[in-house]
Amino acid sequence: MNPSVRLWLASLYLFVMGTISLAYTMVELLLGVMYGSLLVTSDAFHGFMDSAIAYVSGFGLYYASRRGRSFPWEIYRLESLLTLLSAFAVLGFYTYLLATSVRLSGEPTPLWMTTLLLAGGGLTYLMYLWERHNYNTLRLEIIKADALHAKIDTALSAASAAAVVVSNLLHLTVAEVAAVFVIYGYVLYELVKLSKEAMYGILGALYKDPDLEEKIKEGLAELGRPVIVKIRRAGSFLVVYALVAVSPDMTVGRLHALRTRAIRAISKMHPLIVHVDIKIVPKYKRGREGRHA
């Protein structure tokens, strides 16, 4: 499948899942506020963060699918920044909610709302199965990571429903409070992991993939001898830098043709590669001083 088509389909999947999650989250938030359930409201805030991440990632993949030679690939760093800001905004509201609303006493969440939590978990599990299928088709790590996230969210929904049952049957509202803090702890864990990946993308950290590096070197072999090959992050995407020593006898026309061919070949090696920069230096034969380029 063409890399651009893969990225476009992946962006479409993320938009659809983000929209479904956002719609259900709005219902959860409304009912959580109406019935004074901090647990359901917490689950809704978690859903808001998931939706925001899905939309930002979806837009990033969409623009990656439409990239051209003149596309400013540095804009992909903005994707990481927007993802980070969205997550911090949701976390800020969520933290304020906990700080002002946590009570160890009070009325438990109505028992019927377990159906709301379980339905949300069931919907999330269906998304997990869908994303797992899409990963097997598209082979994009961003889809695989989102599928794992959906699987964990399903377990959290089931645990939240169990907490509501315990709270009602045993009159232990502390069970709901404990579940709220479990959700909050998981959101914090997600944010820390997300922040780490976002900073890698913003700063252009090196991306380590020995197999991909070896494939890139093979793609450069016709042009000359690869001296340096580096893969750096640009948001969720990848930028390839290469320094190649070429024969000084090579004509400018052939040099240009081989360099263009290598760039095209490397761009197709991984769907997240958005830019390939190949620098050229002359390759010297062994001389009196035993020098090599």
- Give the model confidence (pLDDT) of 204-233 as tens digits: 889 888 999 999 999 999 999 999 999 998
User: Average model confidence (pLDDT) for the chain?
Assistant: 81
How many angstroms separate the Cα of 135 from the Cα of each of 6, 201, 235, 237?
10, 22, 20, 17
pLDDT in the model for residue 287: 44
Quote the pTM value. Answer: 0.68
Interatomic CA distance for residues 46 and 185, integer angstroms: 11
Mean pLDDT is highest, among 66-70, 264-268, 282-286, for 264-268
- The fold of the 210-282 domain, in CATH, is Alpha-Beta Plaits (3.30.70)
Per-residue pLDDT, averaged over 150-163, amounts to 86
Per-residue pLDDT, averaged over 267-275, amounts to 83
Whether residue 191 is predicted with pLDDT greater than 60 in this model: the reply is yes
Per-residue pLDDT of 29-83, as tens digits, reads: 899 888 888 888 888 888 887 887 788 777 777 776 666 555 565 666 776 777 7
% residues pLDDT > 90 (the chain): 20
Per-residue pLDDT of 241-259, as tens digits, reads: 999 999 888 898 999 999 9
Which has the higher per-residue pLDDT, 114 or 5? 114
- The residue type of 108 is P
Per-residue pLDDT, averaged over 15-34, amounts to 89
Which has the higher per-residue pLDDT, 186 or 73? 186
Whether residue 290 is predicted with pLDDT greater than 60 in this model: the reply is no
Q: Under a CB-based contact definition with an 8 Å cutoff, are residues 201 and 79 in contact? A: yes
pLDDT in the model for residue 42: 85
Whether residue 289 is predicted with pLDDT greater than 70 in this model: the reply is no
Instruction: Supply 90's token pair.
Output: 């949701």
- Assign 3-state DSSP to the chain and report helix, strand, coil percentages, each to 5: 70, 10, 20
Contacts of 281 (CB under 8 A, 6+ apart): 227, 243, 244, 245, 246, 293
Interatomic CA distance for residues 221 and 218, integer angstroms: 5
Burial class of residue 215 (count of CB atoms within 10 Å of its CB; 0-12, 13-18, 19+): middle
Whether residue 19 is predicted with pLDDT greater than 50 in this model: the reply is yes
